[in-house]
Amino acid sequence: MFALALTSLRRIALQLCVLLVFLPAVAAAADLMQPLGRADRPFGSATAPVTVIEYSSPTCPHCAAYRRETAPKIEAEFVRSGKVRILFRPLARNNVDLVIFMLAEAQTVSRSGLVLDSFYARQEEIANSGNLEETLRQIAGSIGIDRGAFDAAIADQSVLDGLKTLAKQARDDFKVEGTPTFFINGKKITGAPSQEEMRREIAAALGN
């Protein structure tokens, strides 16, 4: 009886040791889920076993390529099935990014994606613009953001401060050095992964 109890205690002690080793990684992933300056806008089920955090910039060509070529396929395969939720975190690299993000933040969650995708799709036009402000206003107008709404959005100091805080946290705390950068259940992935690369990483996070 005593020997059996001792064996049980040893088993519990071993389980605790394993848990203590595992806890720091869990804590680090949990900390990563907490953004500063701006609340996340989750896309997908809150109970999804895999969380993909995406840091992206609307003037980043690699980000645009990922949004155009890979993101729709990943969303169709994993988000709609309830396996993945995506947390898109804006990472402004320049003032144009800030303006676009502020326009998106002024929209509802469902419309903010439309705003961002519209600017991603017209990167070349923005880059070659002779009148940058007017080009941004025209693109915004094409998706229903009139000049008054445009001016109101970019005048919101609290949103601007939040975006700057979020970018600082990404660089200082999470060592995000460029866009796009992804964290899949805490694992950092840099650059624009292909569909197969994303599928492989998500499968690993799912334990498949």
Whether 1 has a pLDDT exceeding 70, the answer reads no
Q: Is residue 192 part of a domain?
A: yes
| CA dist., res. 161 & res. 123, Å (int) | 25
Q: Is residue 131 part of a domain?
A: yes
For residue 188, give the 3-state DSSP assignment: strand
Mean pLDDT of the chain: 87
Q: What is the pLDDT of residues 177-189, one digit of tens each?
A: 999 999 999 999 9
Q: Is residue 20 part of a domain?
A: no
Q: What is the pLDDT of residues 29-55, one digit of tens each?
A: 544 468 888 889 999 999 999 999 999
Contacts of range 195-201, beta carbons closer than 8 Å, 24 or more positions apart: 195/69, 195/70, 195/73, 195/74, 198/70, 198/74, 199/74, 199/77
Q: Is residue 141 part of a domain?
A: yes
What pLDDT does residue 167 have? 96
The share of the chain scoring above pLDDT 70, in percent, equals: 84
- Alpha carbon dihedral 95, 57, 142, 152, in 10-degree steps, equals -40
Whether 21 has a pLDDT exceeding 50, the answer reads no
CATH number at residue 142: 3.40.30.10
What pLDDT does residue 161 have? 97
Q: Is residue 11 part of a domain?
A: no
What pLDDT does residue 17 have? 41
Question: Angle of helix 147-154 relative to helix 95-105, nearest 10 degrees?
Answer: 110
Residue range of the domain that includes 78: 33-206
What pLDDT does residue 28 have? 45
Q: Is residue 132 part of a domain?
A: yes
Q: What is the pLDDT of residues 126-178, one digit of tens each?
A: 999 999 999 999 999 999 999 999 999 999 999 999 999 999 999 999 999 99
